[in-house]
Amino acid sequence: MPEVLEAPAAATMLDDHGAHAPRTNAAGRLLAVLDAFGPRSRALSLSEISRRSGLSLSTTHRLVHELLSWGALERDTNGRYSIGVRLLELAALAPRGLDLREAAFPILDDLHHRTRGNVHLGVRNGLEVVYVEAIRACATHPTNGRIGDRWPMHATGTGLVLLAFADRDLQEEALSRPLERFTPLTITDPAELRRKLAQVRQSGYAVAVGQITLPDLVVAVPVYDPFGDLAAAISVVVEAARAKPQVLVSMLGDASGEITRRLAAQSGQRLVRSMPRVRGFAGGHGVPATA
């Protein structure tokens, strides 16, 4: 385990992911309650929340009920607590969240049907990717890729793209911490990863094999907002055996451009010229294909 670099003072947080240290700050206590919930723990009893947040039972009790009456938490039939729809309503307002999804969805759906692969729309958050949309081919790939999933950047297609086009010091920070291994093929060597990123930066897209799930190949490209800034990345995951990477790159390139266009339409913004472009794919006249 790496020592904590951010010096968050000592604390006893049992967070599901790993970080955060809201400590004895007032608002922090409220957030600690929310932090108690995670993918592995969607429904918690009061005392579980208390233990996980490190707050006394009575404090937890009051806070939980405050959140309850506001709608941030709900109580199921067993008396356990879970995240409430009010939070979904709020989250839907995130410009980089379901808003982005809204613009991208039809294109991603189309991509999904044409490639029969898993399609992801991811944005960078800190040093990780968060999926804002994920369309899965029926049964394959058990739980991989859901909305709200958070993954390290080095092992995902979208992450590689987002990292490659991020600030240099952010890249360095990402490279300087331990790179988790998911399969024998996962890139965990900083030098190799650095080479990979350069390649992504140069070609304008990422292709990777078996980084998280073994028999799979992922292709990812960046998505730009109407101002020409990197907004997100989209990827398609298919079985490596039946993959035609160049075709996928081309389709993704078209899709990315289309999403940017729809983002512009949505916000009433005018497109900025000279948008970065995917190389090795003659921009523009992709197969339109409506369902």
Catalog residues that contact DNA under the rule CB under 7 A. 1, 7, 24-29, 45-48, 50, 55-59, 61-63, 79-80
Residue 228 is a binding residue for a second copy (CB under 8 A): no
Residue 1 touches which of DNA, a second copy, none (Cβ within 5-8 Å per kind): DNA
Residue 37 is a binding residue for a second copy (CB under 8 A): yes
Residue 14 is a binding residue for a second copy (CB under 8 A): no
> How many C-beta atoms lie closer than 10 Å to residue 162's C-beta?
28
Spell out, one character per residue from 162 to 191, where the chain touches a second copy: x when CB under 8 A holds, - when not.
------------------------------
Q: Quick one: 75 or 262, whose CB is closer to DNA?
A: 75
Least distance CB 34 / DNA (angstroms):
14
Residue 113 is a binding residue for a second copy (CB under 8 A): yes
Residue 264 is a binding residue for a second copy (CB under 8 A): no
Q: Quick one: 47 or 269, whose CB is closer to DNA?
A: 47
Query: Residue 276 in contact with residue 228, Cβ under 8 Å?
Result: yes
Residue 9 is a binding residue for a second copy (CB under 8 A): no
Tokens 């991989």 belong to 144
For the chain, the first-to-last Cα distance in angstroms comes to 49
Q: How far apart are CA 3 and CA 163, in angstroms?
A: 23
Residues at the contact surface with a second copy, assessed by CB under 8 A = 20, 22, 25-28, 30-31, 34, 37-39, 42-43, 63, 66-67, 70-72, 74, 76-77, 82-99, 101-102, 105-106, 109, 113, 123, 125-126, 130, 132, 135, 138, 146-150, 229, 291
